[in-house]
């Protein structure tokens, strides 16, 4: 049985291209990276300055929100 690379995710490592299964942990991680909106501050951890207070209620509410699922095409 011959596998094709058509549905696989290409990844270059040290000049060599390997193909990842899109359902593997690595393949899913690469698909998530491709969907990052770098202009959306909600997708990143916010750094605080020393002495700044942390609002636990806001953090707790954010963690309770459902995770959005998406499809990469």
pLDDT at 70 > cutoff 70: no
22-64 pLDDT tens trace: 999 999 988 888 888 877 777 766 677 888 888 888 888 877 8
- Give dist(CA 72, CA 65) in Å, integer: 22
Given a cut of 50, is residue 1 above it in pLDDT? no
Asked if the model's pLDDT at residue 4 lies above 80, the reply is no
pTM assigned to the model: 0.44
Least confident of 6-10, 30-34, 40-44, 67-71: 67-71
CA-nearest of 69, 71, 66 to 34 is 71
Q: What pLDDT is stored for residue 21 in this prediction?
A: 95
Give the chain's end-to-end CA distance (angstroms, integer). 27
């Amino acid at each position: 049985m011959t596998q094709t690379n058509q549905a696989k995710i290409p990844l270059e490592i040290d000049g060599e291209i390997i193909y990842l299964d899109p359902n593997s942990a690595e393949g899913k991680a690469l698909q998530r990276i491709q969907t990052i909106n770098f202009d959306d501050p909600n997708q990143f951890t916010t750094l605080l300055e020393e002495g700044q207070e942390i609002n636990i209620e806001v953090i707790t509410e954010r963690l309770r929100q459902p995770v959005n699922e998406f499809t990469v095409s």
